[in-house]
Amino acid sequence: MYQPEESNSEQGNVRGSDWEVTDTNKEDVTDASEEDVTDADKEDVRITSEKADSFLNFLKSTQEIYLYEGNSKDIDSAICLEATGELFHRLESHSLPPSDVFILDHMKTLLLFQDIERLKGALAVFPERCMMPPDQARVISTFFNYWITHILPEKNSE
C-alpha cells in the first residue's frame, strides 16, 4: 500500500490512508476572517448606535408633546419619570440590546408609514419579545399608543 511522504508544502499535508488534509496556512485564514468579523461587528455597533440615537430623539420629542398637551396629570405607572429616565439613559449609553433597538426602530418605521394595524400588532407582542424591563416596555407602549390615539388622528384631520 502506498504511503505518501510528509511534506511541508503550503497547500497542506496529506496523512495516512484517509486522505485527511491539514492546512498549514490556517493562521492566515483565521487572521483574515477575524478582521472581517471585527469590521462587521464595528459596522453593526455603528448602525445600532445610530438607530438608538434616532429613537431616543423620537422618544424625547414624544414625551415633550405628551407632557405639553397636559397628559402628565393623567400619568399612570407606565409613564413614571423614573422608568422613562432609565430608558433614556439606556438609549443614550447604547446599553439597550441590539435586538430591542431594532424592534423599536421597526415600530417607529411603522408609525411613520402610518401602518397602524401592523404597529398595533407589533405593540401587542413587544413586551414578550423585548429584553428591557417591563416598566420601560410600558413607557414605549404608552408613547406609541399616544401617537395612535392622539397625534395621528389630529394630523389626519388637518
Place of cell 493562521: 27
**What would the pLDDT profile of 5-50 be if each residue is shown by its tens digit?**
444 444 444 444 444 444 444 445 445 545 655 777 899 999 999 9
pLDDT at 36: 59
Residues contacting 114, CB < 8 A, separation 6+: 152
Stretch 62-84: mean pLDDT: 73
Rg value, the chain, Cα: 26
pLDDT at 75: 53
Place of cell 389630529: 154
- Residue 145 C-alpha cell reads as 399608543
Stretch 47-65: mean pLDDT: 95
pLDDT at 15: 42
**What would the pLDDT profile of 104-119 be if each residue is shown by its tens digit?**
999 999 999 999 999 9
77 touches 135 (CB < 8 A)? yes
Average pLDDT, rounded, for the chain: 79
C-alpha 106/C-alpha 125 separation (Å) is 13
SS3 of residue 69 by DSSP:
coil
**Any idea how long the chain is?**
158
pLDDT at 66: 86
Helix spans in the chain (H): 26-68, 81-92, 98-112, 116-129, 134-146, 152-157
pLDDT at 83 over 50: yes
